[in-house]
Structure 1
Amino acid sequence: MTALPGETPGTGGTDTPQDTVSPPDTGAQEPAADAETPETPAAVAETPEGAEAPTGAADKAGTADSPSAGAGAVDPPSTDADSASPAPELSEAQAELAAQRELRERIEQRKAAKDAPIAAGAGLSGTAADLLAAVRAVESGEKAGSAFFASPAPAPRPSAPAAAAPPPRTPAPEASPVRTPQAASPEALDAVRAVLVAGGAPEALARPAVGALGEQAAELLRTDPWQLLAVPGVRPEQADGFARALLGADCGPDDSRRTAALVGWVLERAALQGHTALAADAVRAALAERAVSDPDAAVREAVEEGVALLFQEGQDDEPEQDGTADEDGLAPDADTPREPVRMLLGLDRYALAEESLADGLARLVNACEKAADWAEAAAAAPSPSAAELIRTTAAAGLVAHSGGEAARAEPAALIAAARGLGLRAIGATHSEDGRRRLAAATGDPDTAVTLAGLLSGAQGPGRDEEGALALDLLVVLDAPQLDVESAAVLVEALADGARLVLSGDPGVLGSAGAGRVFADVLAARTCPQVVSRTPDPGPIGELVSGIGIGELNQVAASGKEVVIVPVRDAGEAVHRTVQLVADSVPRAFSIPADETQVITVGHGGAAGTRALNEALKQRLNPGPGRFGGFDPGDRVVHVPAPGRAVPGVVRSADAEGLHLDCGGVPVVVPQERVESSVRHGWALSAHQAAGMRWPAAVVVLPGDAAQGLSRPWVYTAFGRGERHLSVVHGVDQALPRAVAEVPAQERTTRLRPLLEALPTSDAAS
């Protein structure tokens, strides 16, 4: 690994952090990634600058927050995954669980009916179920399609808890211009502004408040000011000040409205970091740090009010006291250590999504016809790993396939083989870039869609008469990017008898949304697994493969495929990065600047995405920023929904909005959404870059990024370059230490035990 011709390497060493990376969120999994939302005005919500949290913090939550004076830690404190609640609390926790049996009746009924056939769409609830019912009603002729188009959006329930999650999102189409979301009425905005001003909050929060709480936002905030916590970016101390201004002496730290909102806020924060549930002890501790005098009572009341659901992890039931004895003459389990019982709290949306997903995966496993003979297709496969994948898929309804970038050729071969047998088979990728690469690998553009395009109906084969996707085989590439809600909707859309292959690289960063679907499916081992034996080629492939097993090796790069550029501080890091993108890489490799992607650890800081994008714009496309800071020709990233980063180029702007070209797809971003959903895109975070590749990548590691590094982050960032990788290196020994010692932090989810408990007809290979 050498310097590029013409480069003057720095002297090495680390810089003095100008905007220090905040410490890791204790006990939290790698945060949900880079899903950007409107930045909340500083008068109410903090927007601290800093690097991405240790394993890639979400821009949705800003960078790691610094606790306000006297406020204590914000994020749920760490809890050992194997620790149990203190013994005196077990009976109380079980009593709480019993009190929730009625609330969870639907879930328990589904558990009791695991052996029964599971109809497609049966596990959906809420908006997703309503949409599926509408589709089936139209297709059956029961109702005309126009009956649904004119229907107004349902109003939010006034009694919803303050931090209750919104209904599952329906991804916007990628293959057509982005539609303008339904605007809030002027009356609702004016009413909310009046309440905000009365509470001392900035009027700029009116639009996001109506977006989070609906048209009744003003009345909800007036009667329950802590509903303000439902607005992204608002913190408890700010909601407390708002409540005091509105309620005066009538509010206190143990107000039931406050404690309910705090429970929801803690769980929402955990979801931003990938958790679908959180240990009850962690929630109680977080409430105690927020001056709640009786966290146990607060949690119990939140469960009773339906703000959160309570789950028991470990022993399912108490042992039956029937007087029988075991072979030692002891009562059952009298002296046998029982598995620790852990109580988990979760939001309804994620609980139902995991239950629905587990049921749907079991349905695919059990309903698939396994007598198909694909021997001839397997014999013609281009590699032994591709042949193994074809044979395994022929005999199973659900298959997990893992491998690096080179292994993506194996799902492509599977899709081609299935189509050659007359089956309806396609592959779904995380990004438009991945879709183009898959289409090139199969030689047929009709074989590849994006997951968002497939779910929205903008791409793919459409639906059959039953409302299911008209597919016999679906291969999901970039499966680690699949969050639990999207996965649940996807699986419910597959018909009985369809095959599903989840394919991806287990070493990359996880999904932006809550859950760890691919990792849980692999860990549960309830379906056959195929591990690719195809190595990634070249020096970059060799380097990334070593990182995957915890080794940062020096590789032979005679063609300067991998280059290390040492820097002393963040200022020099920015200078070297601009020099590489604009001069050195184009001169040495004939790769133009618009095909080189810069990747850094965080959005804030002296060498974060914001600072780098500003410097790169000044060099590559200077301009006054005529429309919201953007000019024609600017490279941008559009975030139409949390977790979806779509690269594009600004083409023009007018009264309608900002016109983008996103990989050949025209996108119009309305004026009111430009600030919240469009960022300059010469520099991205590793989470935003996941699922995409460029001819060249420049990874920037300034000194203040050391705490944000982990093995999955480095693995993901270093693997984004196809022909060339430059590393602007200012973290000294923190890089090899992160690769060797900082693996992915575990997310708390319930999918794995749900899958392990399901009766299936297949065993993992």
Structure 2
Amino acid sequence: MSTEPGPEPAENPADVAEAGDGTEAETADGTGAGDGTEAETADGTGAGDATPADGAEAPADGTSEAEATGGAEGPGDGTEAGAVTPGGVVAGGNSEAEAGDGTGAGDATPADGAEAPADGTSEAEATGGAEGPGDGTEAGAVTPGGVVADGNSEAEAGAGAAEAGGAEGAGGKQLSEAEAELAAQRLERERIERRKAERKGPVTAGAKLSGTAADLLAAVRAVESGAKPVATVFADPEPAPRRPAPEPGPVRRDVPVPGRAPGAAPAPAPESVQAVRRVLARGGAPETLAPAAAAALGEGADEMLGADPWQLLRVPGVRPEQADGFARALLGADCRPDDERRGRAVTGWLLEQAALAGHTALELPRLTATLAQRGVPDPDAAVRSTLAEGEALAFQDALEEPGAPAPRAARGAEDGEDEAEEERPVRVLIGLERYALAEESLADGLARLAGSVPKQDGSPEDWERAAASARGSAAELVRAVAEHGLVLHTGGEAALAEPAALLRAARGLGLRAWACAPGPLGRLRFAALCAPGEDAPGAAAPPVATVAGLLAGAEGPGRDPEGALDLDLLVVVDAPQLDVEAAALLTESLPDGARLVLSGDPAVLWSAGPGRVFADLLAARICPQIASRRPDPGPLGELVSGIGAGELTQVEAPGKEIVIVPVREPGEAVHRTVQLVSDSVPRAFGVPAEETRVITPGHGGPAGTRALNAALKERLNPGPGRFGGFDPGDLVVHSPVPGRTLPGRVTGADAEGLRLSCADGTAVVVPRDQVESRVRHGWALTAHQAAGGRWPAVVVVLPGDAAQTLSRPWVYTAFGRAERHLSVVHGVDQALPRAVAEVPGKPRTTRLPVLLAPQAPAED
């Protein structure tokens, strides 16, 4: 690797992370300071953005102080994913935000990665995006000592336990714990199956249970208290058979699909916003929260906040300390420490933060320990109340033991199970309903595809001829798809040519074959591989869509009369970026007899949303897995392949494909980065500045995306920034909803809003009041924002204060975005090779492996 002359290394800089701005634009797509881990929150709230309670200094830019507080995530601390640290914090889980400040797993940095402040900044800075007058205190934030302690009295807790136990039946018969659990679990299973069958709209959290939660809690309490649990399990019932999709007619019929819309949700009515604004003003909360509160709480939001001020925690960006201050201002003397409303709200908030950090559920003991750290005096009562209100669900999953059968999802036991099976240990998990239903629906859909015989499109001879015309592992992929309904394909960037060959072969056999990618950058990249050559003018556009566009009917083949996607084969590229909800919607939308191929590089960063679908499927081994043998070419391919194997090797780069630029402090890193993008790279490699991207670990700090974008704008497109800081010609990233990032360019501004031309070819108008929260400058990105994209030249900036945020997946993803040239502005000394060798991706707590276990083949 070539090295440009640079100053001698100096001591590590004392630069600290900047507080996150809490904007929606900093989304779960990976915008965020710990992009090296997989879980920046989707709403811009940093679950750990407060100053550590123990006074620990915040780690380098991009790391939640959660990792430094209470010893939660320190290297080599041996803390198990999801384990409670000495500070009572849920550790682990693919986010820099696995907090040590008591915030719990997912108490992460904002989705964009808003960085944890190290200078005493209040965590209130995430609310409303407004900062106080220079002291870091947010308007509406709780003053010191202002946190309202809460809990339920022992009498209340006892009453709740008695009610949950279902002490006496209608006939006066005393039920045992096992009987109560069996009845509750059977009813719960029926309720979820009924809900899945009837679902016609988006799955929303907080729907009421059907009266079984109290009985279910009796079993939860028994497990928690150490009593012998009933751990027997039974296989899920087979899903109802679906009718095959009929052949499409001449008219395409689009059917609405539940799930996240491809654009922003409709704005609440002005009168609703005004009513909420009045309530917020009474409680001393920033009135700028009114639109978000009205949207989050729905109709009657003002009455809801007046009756239960802690419902403010459902608004993106609001933290418990702020909700406490709001409740104290509204309720006065009625704001008591034993108010169960606070316990429920904080429980739900922690589960949301865990989901934003990538977890689909939390283990019960760890959740209760984290609740205690959040000032909830009776965490058990808070969990019971949350379950009873239907705001979360409880699960039992059998634990795997040496020599024991594979674990299965434990929701109850069938009559006649033997005693040995009943004594099998379990773990009790608490999760939000939307992710629980999505994960179970995904498991059902994957099992249906893996166990079904695909529709016979083309003769075996035709498939074999198609395979013979392919090369190497591409032929293996074609043969596997010919015989199986679900196939996994792994490989690096060069391996994308293999699913492209499969797509062409399938369409040549007459199949209705389509491909999709989680984001527009991935769609454009794969479409270029599938595009017809220059010798085929007038040929149809490549059949490649985005996941959101495919599900919404805006892209792709549309839907058949049964509501299923009108296709025979779906290839999903960049599959590691699929979160559990998007994956569940895709599998639910496939007709019987269709084939699904999930293709991706398992070494990249995981999805920004909850779950680890691709990794869980690879581990479950329920379907064929085709590993590409096609290596990425050149020095860049050799470098990235070594990183994936845990080695940062010295690579010969005779054409200066890789250049290391040493720096001593963040200010110098910014200066050298601007010099590289604007002068050195265009002059040496002929790559224009607009085709070069800068990737850095976080948004804040002296060398985060904010500082780098400001410097790059001043050099590349100077202007007054009259419209929210933007000018025509600015490169930007637009986040219409949390979890989606669209790169684009500003084309103008008018009374309607900021006008953008996005990379997917769409023209977007961002309303004035949404510009600040949904649009960022886009010369410099985080690794999650850049995932799925490739550029001719990439400059990766590693300032000294980013050392603790680095991990192997982050480095692999960032370095792998370069096609022709990679410059590394290097200020982390030995932290870079250490991260590559010793810091793998952090685990996430998910239920998909347990749900898929019954489908795995028995081992000999």
Cross-structure match for 1:114:
237
The within-5 A match list for 1:630-649 is 630-649=726-745
Cross-structure match for 1:2:
2
Q: 2:507 aligns with which of 419, 433, 436?
A: 419
CA distance in 2, matches of 1:578, 1:169: 41
Tell me, which stretches of 5 or more residues in structure 2 are unaligned?
20-31, 68-94, 97-108, 124-143, 150-164, 166-175, 197-233, 246-250, 400-409, 533-540
Cross-structure match for 2:643:
547
Cross-structure match for 1:431:
519
Answering whether residue 787 of structure 2 is matched by residue 690 of structure 1, we say: yes
Cross-structure match for 1:360:
445
Flag the 1:274–1:388 CA change in 2: closer, same or farther, 3 A: same
CA contact (8 A) 1:97 1:311 kept: no
1:460 shift after superposition:
0.8
Cross-structure match for 1:277:
361
The within-5 A match list for 1:477-496 is 477-496=573-592
CA distance in 2, matches of 1:323, 1:453: 47
CA distance in 2, matches of 1:190, 1:214: 13
1:304 shift after superposition:
1.5
CA contact (8 A) 1:28 1:270 kept: no
Answering whether residue 823 of structure 2 is matched by residue 726 of structure 1, we say: yes
Cross-structure match for 1:515:
611
1:639 shift after superposition:
0.9
Q: 1:671 aligns with which of 750, 768, 772?
A: 768
Flag the 1:121–1:680 CA change in 2: closer, same or farther, 3 A: farther
- Matched to 2:467, the amino acid is A
1:21 shift after superposition:
8.2
Flag the 1:511–1:642 CA change in 2: closer, same or farther, 3 A: same
CA distance in 2, matches of 1:318, 1:493: 29
CA contact (8 A) 2:577 2:606 kept: yes
* TM-score of the pair, normalised by structure 1: 0.83
- Matched to 1:119, the amino acid is R
Flag the 1:696–1:303 CA change in 2: closer, same or farther, 3 A: same
Flag the 1:709–1:694 CA change in 2: closer, same or farther, 3 A: same
| Local SS of the residue matching 2:742 | strand
CA distance in 1, matches of 2:112, 2:145: 25
| Local SS of the residue matching 1:247 | helix
| Local SS of the residue matching 1:644 | coil
The within-5 A match list for 1:512-591 is 512-591=608-687
- Matched to 1:748, the amino acid is T
Answering whether residue 202 of structure 2 is matched by residue 205 of structure 1, we say: no
| CA deviation string 1:391-423 (max 9, x = no partner) | 011010000111100100000000000011011
1:756 shift after superposition:
1.4
Tell me, which stretches of 5 or more residues in structure 1 are unaligned?
75-89, 123-137, 150-166, 173-177, 325-330
Cross-structure match for 2:115:
63
Answering whether residue 13 of structure 2 is matched by residue 16 of structure 1, we say: yes
CA distance in 1, matches of 2:327, 2:494: 55
Flag the 1:63–1:193 CA change in 2: closer, same or farther, 3 A: same
- Matched to 1:203, the amino acid is E
Stretch moving more, 545-554 or 310-319: 310-319
Cross-structure match for 2:600:
504
| Local SS of the residue matching 2:736 | strand
Flag the 1:71–1:671 CA change in 2: closer, same or farther, 3 A: same
CA contact (8 A) 2:63 2:805 kept: yes
1:19 shift after superposition:
1.6
Cross-structure match for 1:618:
714
- Matched to 1:696, the amino acid is A
| CA deviation string 1:172-212 (max 9, x = no partner) | 1xxxxx6x742222211111111111111111111111111
Cross-structure match for 1:32:
39
Flag the 1:391–1:200 CA change in 2: closer, same or farther, 3 A: same
CA contact (8 A) 1:100 1:310 kept: no
CA contact (8 A) 2:661 2:823 kept: yes
CA contact (8 A) 1:308 1:348 kept: yes
Cross-structure match for 1:396:
484
| Local SS of the residue matching 1:668 | strand
CA contact (8 A) 1:212 1:230 kept: yes
- Matched to 2:115, the amino acid is T
1:118 shift after superposition:
3.5
CA contact (8 A) 1:602 1:608 kept: yes
CA distance in 2, matches of 1:666, 1:323: 61
CA distance in 1, matches of 2:244, 2:665: 55
Flag the 1:333–1:280 CA change in 2: closer, same or farther, 3 A: closer
1:107 shift after superposition:
3.1
| Local SS of the residue matching 1:51 | coil
| Local SS of the residue matching 2:542 | helix
CA RMSD in angstroms, aligned pairs only: 3.6
- Matched to 1:221, the amino acid is L
Stretch moving more, 343-352 or 432-441: 432-441
CA contact (8 A) 1:61 1:232 kept: no
Flag the 1:656–1:321 CA change in 2: closer, same or farther, 3 A: closer
1:35 shift after superposition:
4.1
| Local SS of the residue matching 1:401 | strand
Stretch moving more, 93-102 or 594-603: 93-102
- Matched to 2:6, the amino acid is P
1:63 shift after superposition:
2.6
- Matched to 1:2, the amino acid is S
| Number of residue pairs the alignment of both structures matches | 685
| Local SS of the residue matching 1:700 | strand
Cross-structure match for 1:229:
313
1:314 shift after superposition:
1.1
| Local SS of the residue matching 1:475 | strand
1:432 shift after superposition:
2.5
CA distance in 1, matches of 2:239, 2:545: 33
Cross-structure match for 2:806:
709
- Matched to 2:628, the amino acid is S
Percent of pairs identical after alignment?
62
Cross-structure match for 1:248:
332
| Local SS of the residue matching 1:547 | helix
Flag the 1:297–1:525 CA change in 2: closer, same or farther, 3 A: same
| Local SS of the residue matching 2:2 | coil
- Matched to 2:39, the amino acid is A
1:429 shift after superposition:
1.5
CA distance in 2, matches of 1:241, 1:378: 66
Flag the 1:416–1:483 CA change in 2: closer, same or farther, 3 A: same
1:71 shift after superposition:
9.7
Stretch moving more, 453-462 or 576-585: 453-462
Cross-structure match for 2:101:
none
| Local SS of the residue matching 1:446 | coil
- Matched to 2:62, the amino acid is A
Flag the 1:29–1:540 CA change in 2: closer, same or farther, 3 A: closer
